[in-house]
Chains A and B, each alone.
Chain A
Amino acid sequence: MTPTIIVEKLSKTYQVPEREGGFGAAVRSFFKRKYKDVKAVQEVNFSIAQGEVVGFLGPNGAGKTTTLKMLSGLLHPTGGKASVLGFTPWELKPEYLRAMTLVMGQRNRLSWDIPAADSFLLNQAIYRIPDDQYKQTYKELDELLELEPLMKKPVRNLSLGERMKCEIAAGLLHRPRVLFLDEPTIGLDITGQVRIREFLREYNKRTGATILLTSHYMADVTALCERIIIIHQGQLKYDGGITDLSHKIAPFKLIGVMLTDADSHDLSKYGTQVRNEEDADKKYIQVKAGDVTRITSQLLADLPVHDITITDPPIEDVIEQAFNQ
């Protein structure tokens, strides 16, 4: 069987205007602009079979979103080929647009001012969904996401998690056979993330849809995907099973401790110190997964610890680390 998604030597180079800071440079660039080529995606190859759920990973700026945009047809590549369901995405054929969806966690597609129910009905018309099929799909989505209580409120009055549920549901009303999800759980609390994850797994099982998703949360990926594709600086770095990858690069945990008189203690003998921008009160060290229990008890015994947390390192860091080594 031919794979649902085939990507061959897909490349995208952006021309980005570039100038020095300052007034003089601003004036000069008005007359003569300098451009810099930014190679967002460079000759990427992969193929995805029908029904697969694939995690698409890489640090910020790696080219994930650019690739998703090319595959959904929003962007023209500068080189290479792609075929999804037999269509060339950027030809924007209506038959293709009706068969796929692109949900971007950071973009709203629902109208802010009106209840989601109205936008849903509009989508029904736009995607030509027959009434009985629409009712059936809506019922299923409602079961999985508990949409009903959210439907009547204007979207602007929904919480972030509620809105994301509606966004995802709106993108799936037409039962797309291919889903491109860019950060579908961004900004959601844990319950929200779990909900969406379970939903996607169930949707994939029920419909056999092919899913390619990016996420910053390792848990999203480990829960959903058996296979991951990693790109870094526009190049494909890894394509394979997720278990193989964690053996290879992620046998680490992060221990965060809050200490009295934090600066007077040296943590480097326990593990590699790492910075965490989001939580500056704590000091973080990275240790091997197998050493967590031992080092935690050592820390608690040796130091005046107020608070301690053990977490997976952010996927971004793991990947960044793996490829910078």
Chain B
Amino acid sequence: MYLIIKRLWQVNWAEQWQYRANLLMYLLYWLVSPIIYLAVWTSIANAKGSVNGYTANDFITYYLVLLICDQVTSNIVIHIFGYKIQDGSLSGELIKPIHPVLTSVLINNIAFKVLTILGFIPVWIVLFFLFRPDFSHVALSGILLSIPAMILGFLVSYLLSAAITALAFWTTRVYSIHEFYFALILLFSGQFVPLPLMPKLVQDIAQYLPFQLFIYYPIQLILGKLSSAQIVQGYVSGLVWLGVAVLLFNWIWRNGVKRYSAVGA
């Protein structure tokens, strides 16, 4: 298995590297909205002193950390796996003795991620000097705790997206369903604004959804804003959602492949 992963990595890394200019454009596109939120909220907070207790520095640190968390936990499964269903190239992979989505697509996604993060580091440093955040309250323990949390967040987000993408076995295209799913993430993950600034109802619903694991939870971990009880609660909910995501994905995948091979792979 180690060799498979190593070779998959070599292939996918080389493949992503071919498209580095494309990746750079994607990175720029992806940076636009968080930076706009960052600029808008800081100027509002600057003008009013604070927004619901959030000062300008709170917004700056929140969004600068958000850029990192989003980069780590987001996925591009819909583009890799969805496309393979649509153009039929999944057929070739189904008759290979490894699971396509849990091996090659996953590694491809991680290669993509590593490459975009490399491109993202200088951008982040520029933003850091531009906005001069005060990170003095960030502790090493929070950063260390956030790493497994982000990995957990990525796995959950990857599997849920893969499950939704696997609906393409029935519908051939899933881009619109996926857009809707992205809107849910935007609303309930803390990507748009920090969750405490959302209406009470949204905050309550967010508690029962996995999306804050992708963004809000790791940010708060890094910024050291959670009590021990909240930290434990976050990890527990992360593990529960991981279990749910595994089961959901497996179920949709298995039925999907059956259906795919019934209609003409």
Contacts and interface: CB of A to CB of B under 8 A. Distances in A.
Interface of A: 14-15, 66, 69, 72-76, 90, 92, 94, 97-98, 102, 104, 107-109, 111, 113-114, 118-119, 121-122, 124-127, 154
B4 A125 contact: yes
A114 B89 contact: no
A124 B3 CA distance: 9
27 contacts: A14-B264, A15-B263, A69-B91, A72-B95, A73-B95, A74-B91, A74-B95, A74-B265, A75-B262, A76-B262, A92-B95, A102-B95, A107-B91, A108-B92, A111-B15, A114-B11, A114-B14, A114-B18, A118-B7, A118-B10, A118-B11, A121-B7, A121-B10, A122-B4, A122-B7, A126-B4, A126-B97
A94 B262 contact: no
A249 B121 CA distance: 71
A109 B6 CA distance: 19
B15 A114 contact: yes
Contacts of A111: 11, 15
User: What is the predominant secondary structure among interface residues of chain B facing chain A?
Assistant: helix
B255 interface: no
A104 B4 CA distance: 24
B225 interface: no
Contacts of A72: 95
Given A15-B263, A76-B258, 20 more contacts: A14-B264, A69-B91, A69-B264, A74-B94, A74-B265, A75-B261, A75-B265, A76-B262, A98-B97, A107-B91, A109-B92, A111-B15, A113-B14, A113-B15, A114-B11, A118-B14, A122-B4, A125-B8, A126-B96, A126-B98
Interface string B87-121: 01101101111100000000000000000000000
Contacts of A108: 89, 92
Contacts of A118: 7, 10-11, 14
A206 B88 CA distance: 33
B173 to A, nearest CB: 15
9 smallest beta-carbon distances between A and B, as pairs:
A94-B97, A97-B97, A109-B92, A125-B7, A74-B265, A125-B3, A125-B4, A122-B7, A113-B18
Contacts of B264: 14, 66, 69, 75
A125 B10 CA distance: 12
Interface string B109-146: 00000000000000000000000000000000000000
A119 B97 CA distance: 15
Nearest to A118: B11
A316 to B, nearest CB: 22
Contacts of A107: 88-89, 91-92
Interface string B250-265: 0000000010011111
Contacts of A154: 18
Contacts of A109: 92
A234 to B, nearest CB: 14
A113 B261 CA distance: 28
Contacts of B89: 107-108
Contacts of B92: 104, 107-109
B261 A74 contact: yes
A302 to B, nearest CB: 52
B235 to A, nearest CB: 34
Contacts of A74: 91, 94-95, 261, 265
A124 B95 CA distance: 15
Contacts of B18: 113-114, 154
A73 B265 CA distance: 10
B96 A97 contact: yes
A109 B96 CA distance: 11
